[in-house]
Amino acid sequence: MKNHLVIGLGGTGGKILRALRKNVFQEWRGGEPDQVRLRYLYVDSSKEMMAIDDATWRILGESVQLATRSQLLITGGNLNQILDNISGHPNIQPWIGSRDQWKDILNSIVGETLGGQKRRLGRFLFACKARQFKDQIKQLAGELTTGGDASVTFHLCCGLAGGTGSGAVIDAVAQIRALYRDPKMYRIVVYALLPEEIPNPNWDTGNYHANGYAALVELNALSVGAYQPHDLAERGERLALSDPFNGCYLFCNRNENGLQVDVDKTLPGILADFLFQKLMAVRNAEAMKLLEKMENAENGDGTPETRTGGTTPLRSKRFLTFGIKRLAVPEGEIREYLTYQFARQAALQLRYNNWDDTFGFRDEPRNQDFGEFVRDQQTLERWSLTDEHLTLSRGILPEEINNKKWKPIVKEWLDLLPQLMGLVQTLDNKVWINEIDKLMAQGFDDNYRGLGVRKFYETKLQARKDHVRELRRRVEGELFDEWKNGVKSMQDIARCLGALSAALQERLAAADDRISRAKSASADAEQKVAANRVAYANVGLVSQLLGKRRGLLDAEGEALRELYTARTQVEAWAFAKRLLQEAISEFNALASDVAACTRLVDDSIKEFQERIDARCNDGATPDLRQPLVRFYNAENVRLFGRELEKDRGEQTRQAQAVRVALIEQFAADPTFSAFQARISRQRFFDVLEQQCAASSQSAHDALVSSSRERRPLLGVNIIGQLEREYSGRSDELKKFIHDLVNQAGNFLEFDPQAVVLGAAKTKVSQFLVILPKAPDLAQFGEALEALFRDNFRGDVPVDIIRSETNLNEITLLGLTNLFPLRYAKATRFLKEQYERRIAQGGNPERIRLELNGEGDGTQWPAILLADERAQRDQALPALLLAKALGLIAAVTSPTTGISELYLIGEDADGLPVRTRLGKGLPEVFEGIDLTAAQGLVDAVQARLSQDAFRHVDQRTALQAAVRDELKAVLAERRNDFEDPVYRRFEAAARAAIQALKND
């Protein structure tokens, strides 16, 4: 198994790692790739993307965030302290630069010291952690090689515009190569993103483009051996490195066909796709060998450019670029679409539980009346919210319910009175009424439930929070169970609690009336007691003999029972009033917990809808310009999804599975309060995505298996998709493949004028077409292979590879290598920006320090030829003469009516050949490469040497024609005599006319 350690430097590097990790996850669902071993290391001065819970590293509810051992945060170095004791840091002292300049730089930094688009600051931060970087590299590489292949390929990904990645890349390469010296066994490949011409707002803080040029100069110097970096991990000695890196890929946000992609959101994914295909999809031994040869510069002349006649290497040709075009059924997106549809349906069930056979679960509540429900006696009985419970006539807490001595208030006094009456009647009848009064008072004051009424309620008042919690437990428990079982939705529960709160408010408002009524009953009973006492005192002998006292005792007992029942009710309702107040607050708190859960569900409904809307919304015609050409019918995906949404049984099952999965997160305390306390927004989304990814896959498979006419959306082989789409339409398939190949291009534009005449085997291109295996469609697959081979340019070799990964896509990988940096169109632009930054920065010395890793950058070999403009200017007179001689002619298209200039010539068979040059001479001048320009010079000289053009009249006519061409250029330049292009053409016209006069 091949070993690969992918290293991300800076923010761009981190984004590339993140995208690659997601690609690996989608292919292997969290497992490890087969036939390749991978490790990762993310190095940055910002911890923004390193948090364990960073949501940007998540895919379908799973995190692909790197473990701590695969991260290295390089912030925290105290540069001020190091500058004050620079002699104690020999690994930094030789290159750090002027202390005074650094003080100025550091004083401008607010907050934590990050790379901040200052390359030397990025290098300093890396230097502070260089030894740790080295140790982590050794650890990760050791894991890869243990028990297997000893070789490792190191892939370093970074952007060159910032401070961290751009500032650290040289030393990262140097440290790895110093550890692993053999470039054959330990290959180092760099992937460097060039700064785009127009960055996003606020991205360019001054050094954006200049950093890119400085980094390119240093990479070139490192490659040719002119730059031997100091050993930042040890004592600072120079590292003499052979083949510091095998190859360095350059790429930018615009490809050769003019397609521009988003640097922040799209481009990291494009490089991740390229890495994925290169490392995991290409398994053919010959193709892997070819890739390695190109990255090692072994497929042509890889020796650096030198000065004419010299031997000192100046410009490395270890630079490459790539292009990638994927024709795919976007299975990942389709999977996400179905997952998010299921997740939204599950969330709607949790929220409203309102099914509609046409739409599935609807985004609106059902019409239900919960006012009657919360006032129903059976409901109040289950929830212990009857008047009997609120007044503690009956118990609420378990120990109260289980206390056999507890009786309802009325029954308590009904049962007590006969006992006391029997006891009193054993005494002298003269004291009966006094004794019953005393015993009943004693029962109220001291004996009621072992404490006396007032003491009992005072004690219970202190414990009212326990009662309130028990009431909440009962209500919440029932409502939660009904939500768990799918009977009630969040909306139902919220409305139920609102109705309950309103009902309890009504009862609270009535509590004072209940107290008043009890007091009134108590006063009436007191009057009866007083009257009985008076009558008892006035009983005469005859009345006594007739049983008058016994009758008055019975009347007194009944009056006392009424009295103490009423007095108990007064205390009971006073307690109930306080309990209701507390209960209402508690149920409002419960409602708040439910509302928090509801908000979470509402957020998910909105978020999932936005995710659904952002996916599978392509038109009928694939956009062949894009790196990913999406080959599928989006409308079929949407119809398939709608059919799954309308399957009530499926949606009910999957919503129940979601509820169960959610409850598992807080199973020890299944309550709404635990839900909102323990289920974070991220966790909620993760659970829904994980569960619904599985449910949607199962539902998809079940629906497909239930009907032979149903085409699957997932697990589709792109070969079969093409065969079905173009069955019986071979000409249309040919055109499609032709157009697809034509739109494949490198993510680096070349400057044709920078190519030097006579360069041997430079800028060599190769294409790999990765087709998935499709044994059932062997004949069609072979025809497809032939189409791809036939549609690439004849000078570009094409290898076809059959892959067992990513069966849903065909990938076109383009590689171009063996070119110096001057070939890249961006290089000249970046140099201009570099020079402008230094000239306009106000403090050139400080700017040079910020931009360059060490020194001022002038010590390294130049990466551009100084005389390229001069070479073009020298060819310009020949261009004017070629037009005058008819070697260049204007041809008008009969279709468009547009005139363009063509080079007119003959091939080896004497047949006419026309080569398009451009719309006008200025465009031809800017676009023609130096080889073609030299050819034009030779052609003009050959034509002028013919006898027909030696006559003075012919020469005069040619001079006039040159003047006419100059007038045409002036008109094209809006008659601006000061226009730089016109002035160059004017000088060239003078030279051409003078040459005609002299010959």
- Residue 757: per-residue pLDDT: 44
CA distance 727 to 569: 89
Provide the pLDDT confidence category of residue 758 given band limits of 50, 70 and 90.
very low
Provide the pLDDT confidence category of residue 541 given band limits of 50, 70 and 90.
low
Phi, psi of 702 (to 5 degrees): -65, -40
In the chain, where the domains are located: 2-321+824-851, 333-364+616-706, 370-590, 718-818, 868-996
Is 95 in contact with 854 (CB distance < 8 Å)?
A: yes
For the chain, what's the residue count?
A: 999
Range from 43-52, 236-245, 400-409, 974-983 carrying the lowest mean pLDDT = 974-983
CA distance 75 to 511: 66
Range from 228-242, 326-340, 374-388, 950-964 carrying the lowest mean pLDDT = 950-964
- Residue 65: per-residue pLDDT: 96
CA distance 406 to 219: 89
Would you tell me how many other CB atoms lie within 10 Å of the CB of residue 921? 24
Is 437 in contact with 560 (CB distance < 8 Å)?
A: yes
Structure tokens at 570: 């007064």
Region at 30 (left for phi over 0; alpha for psi -120 to 50; beta for the rest) = left
- Residue 869: per-residue pLDDT: 63
pLDDT in tens, 199-215: 998 899 999 999 999 99
Percent share of the chain, pLDDT over 70: 96
* Average of per-residue pLDDT across 359-370: 91
Is 860 in contact with 227 (CB distance < 8 Å)?
A: yes
* Average of per-residue pLDDT across 105-116: 65
Provide the pLDDT confidence category of residue 755 given band limits of 50, 70 and 90.
low
**297, HSE (Cβ side, Cα atoms, 13 Å):** 24
Is 376 in contact with 685 (CB distance < 8 Å)?
A: no
- Residue 868: per-residue pLDDT: 57
Would you tell me how many other CB atoms lie within 10 Å of the CB of residue 394? 18
pLDDT in tens, 30-51: 678 888 999 999 999 999 999 9
Provide the pLDDT confidence category of residue 995 given band limits of 50, 70 and 90.
confident
- Residue 542: per-residue pLDDT: 55
* Average of per-residue pLDDT across 531-560: 78
Range from 74-78, 343-347, 487-491, 777-781 carrying the lowest mean pLDDT = 74-78
pLDDT in tens, 679-719: 999 999 999 999 999 999 999 999 999 988 889 999 999 99
Would you tell me how many other CB atoms lie within 10 Å of the CB of residue 990? 13
- Residue 102: per-residue pLDDT: 87
Question: If 0-12 CB within 10 Å is exposed, 13-18 middle and 19+ buried, where does residue 548 land?
Answer: middle
Range from 526-530, 605-609, 850-854, 900-904 carrying the lowest mean pLDDT = 900-904
- Residue 803: per-residue pLDDT: 87
Predicted confidence (pLDDT) at residue 111 exceeds the cutoff of 60: no
pLDDT in tens, 300-325: 889 999 876 678 899 999 999 999 99
- Residue 934: per-residue pLDDT: 65
Using the CB atoms, write b or e for 836-872: b if 16+ within 10 Å.
ebbeebeeeebbbbbbbbbeebeebbebbbeebeebb
CA distance 593 to 165: 46
Q: Reduce the DSSP state of residue 268 to 3 states and report it.
A: helix
| Alpha helix (H) residue ranges in 353-431 | 371-375, 377-382, 387-390, 398-401, 409-424
pLDDT in tens, 130-159: 999 999 999 999 999 999 999 999 999 999
| Alpha helix (H) residue ranges in 29-163 | 79-84, 99-107, 119-128, 130-145
- Residue 546: per-residue pLDDT: 61
CA distance 226 to 752: 27
- Residue 999: per-residue pLDDT: 64
CA nearest neighbour of 271 among 768, 765, 747: 747
Contacts of 12 (CB under 8 A, 6+ apart): 157, 158, 159, 162, 165, 193, 268
- Measure the CA angle with vertex 763, ends 759 and 769; round to 5°: 150
Is 70 in contact with 39 (CB distance < 8 Å)?
A: yes
Predicted confidence (pLDDT) at residue 340 exceeds the cutoff of 90: yes
Phi, psi of 215 (to 5 degrees): -65, -40
Report the CATH architecture of 2-321+824-851.
3-Layer(aba) Sandwich (3.40)
- Residue 309: per-residue pLDDT: 64
* DSSP-assigned states of every residue in 2-20: EEEEEEEEHHHHHHHHHHH
- Measure the CA angle with vertex 779, ends 774 and 781; round to 5°: 45
pLDDT in tens, 636-680: 999 999 999 999 999 999 999 999 999 999 999 999 999 999 999
CA distance 755 to 759: 8
Q: Between the CA of residue 678 and those of 33, 52, 597, 666, 671, what are the distances in Å?
A: 34, 17, 11, 7, 10
CA nearest neighbour of 190 among 205, 172, 208, 210: 172
Determine which helix (DSSP H) or strand (DSSP E) holds 32, and give its type and residue range: none
CA nearest neighbour of 852 among 77, 159, 163: 163
Provide the pLDDT confidence category of residue 282 given band limits of 50, 70 and 90.
confident
CA-based R_g, the chain, Å: 44
- Residue that has been written with the tokens 């956009």 in this structure: 623
For residue 39, the cross-strand partners are 5
Highest mean pLDDT among 34-38, 73-77, 766-770: 766-770
Provide the pLDDT confidence category of residue 218 given band limits of 50, 70 and 90.
very high
CA distance 283 to 276: 12
CA distance 725 to 632: 9
Structure tokens at 640: 């398939």
Q: Reduce the DSSP state of residue 979 to 3 states and report it.
A: coil
Range from 256-260, 913-917, 970-974 carrying the lowest mean pLDDT = 913-917
Predicted confidence (pLDDT) at residue 233 exceeds the cutoff of 60: yes
Is 27 in contact with 280 (CB distance < 8 Å)?
A: yes
pLDDT in tens, 248-281: 999 999 999 889 999 999 999 999 999 999 998 8
Share the mean pLDDT of the chain: 91
Predicted confidence (pLDDT) at residue 170 exceeds the cutoff of 90: yes
Contacts of 235 (CB under 8 A, 6+ apart): 90, 91
Is 175 in contact with 233 (CB distance < 8 Å)?
A: yes
Phi, psi of 85 (to 5 degrees): -135, 50
More confident residue, 72 or 952: 72
- Residue that has been written with the tokens 């040497």 in this structure: 945
For residue 898, the cross-strand partners are none
Is 220 in contact with 186 (CB distance < 8 Å)?
A: no
Question: If 0-12 CB within 10 Å is exposed, 13-18 middle and 19+ buried, where does residue 284 land?
Answer: middle
- Residue that has been written with the tokens 């917990």 in this structure: 593
Give the amino acid at 633. N
Question: If 0-12 CB within 10 Å is exposed, 13-18 middle and 19+ buried, where does residue 110 land?
Answer: exposed
- Report CA dihedral (467, 468, 471, 472) to the nearest 10 degrees: -140
- Residue 545: per-residue pLDDT: 57
Predicted confidence (pLDDT) at residue 756 exceeds the cutoff of 60: no
CA distance 391 to 511: 10
- Residue that has been written with the tokens 């290898």 in this structure: 799
- Residue 696: per-residue pLDDT: 95
DSSP category for residue 283: -
* Average of per-residue pLDDT across 883-911: 81
CA distance 265 to 272: 12
DSSP category for residue 474: H
CA distance 910 to 949: 22
CA distance 324 to 281: 13
CA distance 781 to 774: 7
Would you tell me how many other CB atoms lie within 10 Å of the CB of residue 729? 11
CA distance 415 to 408: 10
- Residue 564: per-residue pLDDT: 94
Predicted confidence (pLDDT) at residue 596 exceeds the cutoff of 70: yes
